Amino acid sequence: MAARNTKRAKGRATRKPRSTARPRSRKKATGRPAIEWGLEAERDLARLAEVGCTVSEIAAILDVSKSSLDTACHGGNAGMSKAYAQAVAGRHRGLRTAQYRKAMRGHPTMLIWLGKQELGQRNYKQADLPQADGGTIAVDLTEIKPTLRRKLSEFVRSRRQTDRGPKKASSG
């Protein structure tokens, strides 16, 4: 029979066999006790989130730390996180509805903004100016002062209309 190596390797811990190991005792909970969130707190959270309060503001109003509220709102507490998500979604839905209604009433700024957001429309920052030889030259409109830009746009529009020529009378 071969002799067992009884020397321990440096830095290596040895385990006792399972049968003689003591059962591990549970450690006592340390730190602050968990916050009990009630239905009233959920309602308050939803009401505050729906009017647009930040998590910091809600925490100050509910008299809890921002990190505790952050944990509760983002998955730590199912009821709180659901209430927060629904309130934020309701706020976004209401804003979107109000923007759409305003645009449909003909508000020009809102129509432009919604066109850019929903339809991918954009402002053109370059104009092609016609030249005497029949070619065009590209001009960057962002470099031009607003009054010159307006005059330049009017010139380009009038030039395009004259390039099309007079309307032909239709024979009937």
Q: What is the H or E stretch that residue 135 is in? A: none
Mean pLDDT along residues 162-172: 57
Backbone angles phi, psi at 44, to 5 degrees: -60, -45
Q: What is the pLDDT of residue 5?
A: 54
Query: pLDDT band at 66, cuts 50/70/90?
Result: confident
- Which pTM does this prediction carry? 0.48
Which sequence spans correspond to the domains of the chain? 39-119, 126-164
Mean of pLDDT over the chain: 75
State how far the Cα of 65 lies from the Cα of 53, in Å rounded to an integer.
15
Q: How far is CA 22 from CA 16, 17, 42, 43, 51, in A?
A: 10, 10, 45, 49, 57
State how far the Cα of 166 lies from the Cα of 168, in Å rounded to an integer.
6
35-61 pLDDT tens trace: 777 788 888 888 998 888 888 898 898
Please report, as a single letter, which amino acid is at residue 105.
R
Q: Is 111 in a helix, a strand, or coil?
A: helix
Of residues 145 and 56, more confidence is placed in 56
86-129 pLDDT tens trace: 898 998 888 888 888 888 888 888 888 888 887 777 776 777 77
